[in-house]
Amino acid sequence: MGFLYEKLAKPALFLLDPETAHDAAVLAARAGGALKLPAWAARLACAGPQRTVKVAGLDFPNPVGLAAGFDKDCECYPFLGELGFGFLELGTVTLRPQPGNPKPRLFRLPEKAALLNRMGFNNRGAFAAAERLRRLGRGRVPLGINIGKNADCPLDQARENYLEALKVLYPYGDYFAVNISSPNTKQLRELHRPEYLEPLLDALLGFAASQPSKKPVFVKLAPDLEPEEIKDCARLIAGRGAGLIVSNTTVGREGLDRRWEHEPGGLSGAPLMEKARAALGAALDGAAGAVPVIASGGVMTPEEAAWRLEAGAALVQVYTGLVYGGPFFVRNILKHLARKESADA
């Protein structure tokens, strides 16, 4: 089956421009989710050995999740939940709809097993997402909803912008991810600074605490800060009781052809691995075991997923690995984790 993806589906998808291929995949997943047979077939083909993990009070059937950015509009997650994932992170959703950056804004670097994107939070906004989440219902696995700031919202109004989005989406997520780390929204990464981060977190966590069901909040960090800065940031976030997702894409271009130096955007996949590992280490140091840390960035092999979990991540997320590895990527990771666990026992 993996052979079919490698030899047929992937070459066909890779003939398309990357964003068209992504849109086609979302469309297919929407159709697949609406029909019982494809969903059932996908479940049968893609399920891997399960290993329930409890993180932030939630039960995850396995520790491998889909990172944010694939289902930005919360429209195809029921089918994605059949691909073996232990959880799905939807979004980034912003309060108001916005078109994102001009196209082209997504690029493949197949020789590096990487993607470069400057999508810019293209999405139909929190109210439309909430309506679809209400209609499609809960998926098979825990859902995280990743929220971001509208591009036209100044930094000093970011707190209200995030808070309103959280309020609209709160009934539908099992956890929430606060995205302060996309490189594609001007000044967004300024929100790592304590003078912005503290009031932002106080507002979001205060709202969650005031609700009958207190849901966990995670903050997604950038990998491009100095290790000490990541550590300080993680300490601040953990001190307030929020978890961490480490990390988002990088603005670094180490090891790439010079043509990519002048192409703005965030790099993901294999070239991000070392940076994401280092950022995870610094975040784990800062969090000091007080809150869970989810690993993201450059997880392109089952061995790398195992490495992040052994390093101390509570859960791991993939995106670019799925694009290059195909729908059996998660199952292969889960098989590897199960084999390793029985060998270590």
Ligand X SMILES: Cc1cc2nc3c(=O)[nH]c(=O)nc-3n(C[C@H](O)[C@H](O)[C@H](O)COP(=O)(O)O)c2cc1C
Known catalytic residues? 182
User: How large is the angle between the packed helices 126-136 and 158-169, nearest 10 degrees?
Assistant: 20
Site residues for ligand X per CB under 6 A: 67-69, 72, 91-92, 106, 115, 117, 119, 121, 146, 179, 182, 220, 248-249, 268-269, 272, 296-299, 318-321
Structure tokens of 150?
């509208």
Smallest gap from Cβ 329 to ligand X, in A, equals 10
Which of 68, 39, 60, 114 has its CA nearest to residue 300?
Answer: 114
Which amino acid, residue 304?
A: E
Distance in angstroms (rounded) separating the CA atoms of residues 330 and 83: 7
Q: What angle do CA 232, 90, 23 make, to 5 degrees?
A: 125
Smallest gap from Cβ 35 to ligand X, in A, equals 26
Cα 333 to chain centroid distance, Å, stands at 17
38/96 with CB nearer ligand X:
96
Q: What is the dihedral of CA 85, 147, 102, 325, to 10 degrees?
A: -10
Smallest gap from Cβ 53 to ligand X, in A, equals 19
Q: Could you please report the per-residue DSSP string of 36-51?
A: HHHHHHHHHHH-----
Smallest gap from Cβ 90 to ligand X, in A, equals 9
Smallest gap from Cβ 212 to ligand X, in A, equals 28
39/85 with CB nearer ligand X:
85
Structure tokens of 319?
């995106």
42/113 with CB nearer ligand X:
113
If 0-12 CB within 10 Å is exposed, 13-18 middle and 19+ buried, where does residue 345 land? exposed
Q: Specify whether the CB–CB gap between 132 and 112 falls below 8 A.
A: no
Distance in angstroms (rounded) separating the CA atoms of residues 219 and 193: 13
Smallest gap from Cβ 296 to ligand X, in A, equals 4
Distance in angstroms (rounded) separating the CA atoms of residues 52 and 38: 25
Q: How many CB atoms lie within 10 A of CB 295?
A: 31
Q: What are phi and psi of 317, to 5 degrees?
A: -120, 150
Q: Specify whether the CB–CB gap between 73 and 130 falls below 8 A.
A: no
